[in-house]
Chain A
Amino acid sequence: GAVVSQHPSRVICKSGTSVKIECRSLDFQATTMFWYRQFPKQSLMLMATSNEGSKATYEQGVEKDKFLINHASLTLSTLTVTSAHPEDSSFYICSASAGAGYGYTFGSGTRLTVV
């Protein structure tokens, strides 16, 4: 079945530094990938849609200069949290679809802690 690999699973960084999270579709090509953010005991909130070969589409209220998305190939999207602050600490999850209506496969998530 469709597999999405996300790395790292956990990262701790100092305030002011940048962190890159990778999302790879292992056995299918994904022209579109999605990045979600999940706060403790809350639901997933769509942050942005990553489009291969073009600019990402950000949801309202998401700072595109803080959350840089690059989708350079059909199997890889990266999310870079720039100048991280403690309030950016969260669980970030990526997903992609292997085809029409099949639902979305999710990565295993990245727990980001900014200290």
Chain B
Amino acid sequence: AQTVTQSQPEMSVQEAETVTLSCTYDTSESDYYLFWYKQPPSRQMILVIRQEAYKQQNATENRFSVNFQKAAKSFSLKISDSQLGDAAMYFCAYLSPYSGGGADGLTFGKGTHLIIQP
């Protein structure tokens, strides 16, 4: 079974600074998908960014980027120019490659609580 580990229960960053959230995972599969989800106080899960394991290029979405190290099974999220609205729980998630049709659920890490200091 796959496991996802987020070793930082809480992180704090000054507004406008950059912060990196770490995520490692364990799998025997060679192809898969990885995601970062954000859960603000409203508890709505919001997709931040996704990465296909077969792609070597790191995904980016505006101020959010990932550092995907497949051999090390590491998938960190970098948030640049942090804003107050970025404050939330961030969950790293793994999806099996056999879920092409959405057949499997996501495996989540325990989450990192991100605090933005004004």
Contact = CB atoms under 8 A, between A and B. Distances in A.
B105 A46 contact: yes
Contacts of A98: 102
B50 A101 contact: yes
A96 B102 CA distance: 7
A43 B45 contact: no
A49 B99 CA distance: 12
A101 B45 contact: no
Given A36-B105, A49-B105, A95-B45, A100 B110 contact: no
Interface string B30-49: 00010100000011110100
Interface string B93-109: 00100011111111111
Contacts, number: 66
Contact of B102 (A38, A42, A45, A97): A97
B52 interface: yes
B109 A31 contact: no
Main secondary structure of the interface of A (DSSP, over half): strand
B75 interface: no
Contacts of B35: 103
Interface string A49-77: 10000000000000000000000000000
A46 B107 CA distance: 8
A105 B104 CA distance: 13
29 contacts: A31-B102, A32-B103, A42-B110, A42-B111, A43-B91, A43-B110, A43-B111, A44-B91, A44-B106, A45-B108, A46-B105, A46-B106, A46-B107, A91-B43, A93-B43, A93-B45, A95-B106, A96-B102, A97-B101, A99-B102, A100-B101, A101-B100, A102-B50, A103-B35, A103-B47, A104-B102, A106-B45, A108-B43, A109-B44
